[in-house]
Amino acid sequence: MSNLQLGLAFLGGIILLAVVAYNAWITRKSAPRKADPALATDTPPPLGTERQEPGFEGELPLAADGTAAPAAEGRSTADRKPGLDALIDVVAPLALESEVSGDAILAAMPGTRRVGSKPFAIEARHSISGEWESPRPGQRYTAAQAGVQLANRHGALNEIEYSEFVMKSQALADALGANPEFPEMRDEVLRARELDQFASTHDAQLGFTLRATRAAWSPGYVHQHAARLGFVAGALPGRMVLPGSEPGSAPVLSLLFDTQAALAEDPEQSALREISLLLDVAHVPQAEQPYQRMRDAARTLAQGMDGIVTDDQGQPLQDAALDRIGADLEGLYTALEARDLAAGSSLARRLFS
């Protein structure tokens, strides 16, 4: 073999090694970042594992931010107990001729607890405590009432739904030997439309998107960084939540990423290029400072994971825009309180659901 052939062979070997090394470098660079076991303070549950999510009341729509309308006139707010309330419900008294058992009421109740798209409920007044509650077996009750919600995120109660409410309530009253008293349908439908109009102009669901600027992220990598901020695995794969400070309260924030990545046979090989931070404003008390915590979480995650915070259109969110959203939220909180529907209250959570 001549010196030229040896030189060419040597050069070819060098080029081949360079190509192999380059491909290996590209593969490592493009592989999703994985959680660092050395940084874990405890062992988090698998991302696809179901658990009772703190305050979970259903999945939130993936919506952009809403703007606050001017404050409305109304009463000063105080949180109300769960249950029927004339503020957001049609309430029909069912006058009982004598005490009835909780078992009898439960046996006479309809099979579904909805009227169209609205929740339907029965309450009874306990014979000893005098408190209104959902009927319970083995208890005695001196009065009962039926109710249907005036509005929710599906819209206002309409005439057809009101008629269905009357039919269900009348059937229950007949079974209990009670005399029902129904409000005028026209008045209640008008009230439902007015409440729905208020709700539609004071509904805000904020969403930030975090996008990877360099390497993609694995689900475990996202989980590890979010867990440091207090997020825990949610009830659904690809969902984490930041629990509220009160037991049973709604999550302060939700963090979402691709469900298929969370359900993959080997999630750590899944590549995530973006995740979403969500805040359902009406569901979280203002005292929790949810918006500030959302901004802080987004900034911390972006810095720690080499990402950028954008809106749902992919445009970077600057501090000036974030400040404007915060100012709008102050007006929204004021309007909700003025209507006796303070953010995070049981009534607000029911209305905005």
User: 268: domain CATH number?
Assistant: 3.30.1400.10
Give the pLDDT of residue 266: 83
Q: Does 143 score more than 80 pLDDT?
A: yes
How crowded is residue 301: how many other Cβ atoms within 10 Å of its Cβ? 23
> End of a domain among 200, 222, 245?
200
Angle at 142 between CA 126 and CA 106, to 5 degrees: 75
Q: Does 167 score more than 60 pLDDT?
A: yes
Give the pLDDT of residue 31: 56
Q: Does 81 score more than 50 pLDDT?
A: no
Q: Is 189 found in the same domain as 132?
A: yes
pLDDT class of 3 with cuts at 50, 70, 90: low
Average pLDDT score over residue span 322-338: 96
> Which of 204, 207, 195 shows the shortest CA–CA distance to 282?
204
Q: Is 242 found in the same domain as 216?
A: yes
Average pLDDT score over residue span 187-201: 98
> End of a domain among 171, 200, 229?
200
Give the pLDDT of residue 69: 35
Do strands 89-95 and 100-101 pair parallel, antiparallel, or not at all (unpaired)?
unpaired
Please report how the helices 290-305 and 219-227 are oriented relative to each other, as an axis angle in degrees rounded to 10: 130
Average pLDDT score over residue span 215-222: 93
* Alpha-carbon torsion angle 65, 301, 50, 37, nearest 10: 170
Number of domains within the chain:
2
Mean pLDDT of the chain: 84
pLDDT class of 39 with cuts at 50, 70, 90: low
pTM of the predicted protein model: 0.77
pLDDT class of 6 with cuts at 50, 70, 90: low
Give the pLDDT of residue 79: 37
Question: In this structure, is residue 249 part of a structural domain?
Answer: yes
> End of a domain among 159, 174, 200?
200
Give the pLDDT of residue 8: 52
Alpha helices, DSSP H, located in 31-148 = 102-108
> Which of 7, 37, 50 shows the shortest CA–CA distance to 238?
50
Q: What percent of the chain has pLDDT over 90?
A: 69
Q: Is 209 found in the same domain as 343?
A: yes
pLDDT class of 263 with cuts at 50, 70, 90: confident
Question: In this structure, is residue 133 part of a structural domain?
Answer: yes
pLDDT class of 61 with cuts at 50, 70, 90: very low
Average pLDDT score over residue span 105-120: 95
Give the pLDDT of residue 4: 55
pLDDT class of 237 with cuts at 50, 70, 90: very high
Q: Does 40 score more than 50 pLDDT?
A: yes
Average pLDDT score over residue span 310-334: 93
Q: Is 213 found in the same domain as 191?
A: no
Give the pLDDT of residue 154: 97
Ranked by mean pLDDT, the top range of 8-12, 27-31, 226-230 is 226-230
Helix (H) or strand (E) holding 29: helix 3-30
Which of 20-24, 50-54, 164-168 is least confident?
50-54
Q: Which domain holds residue 52?
A: 37-67+204-351
Q: Is 170 found in the same domain as 230?
A: no
Average pLDDT score over residue span 96-115: 95
Q: Is 346 found in the same domain as 208?
A: yes
- The residue with greater pLDDT, 13 or 50, is 13
Q: Is 123 found in the same domain as 43?
A: no
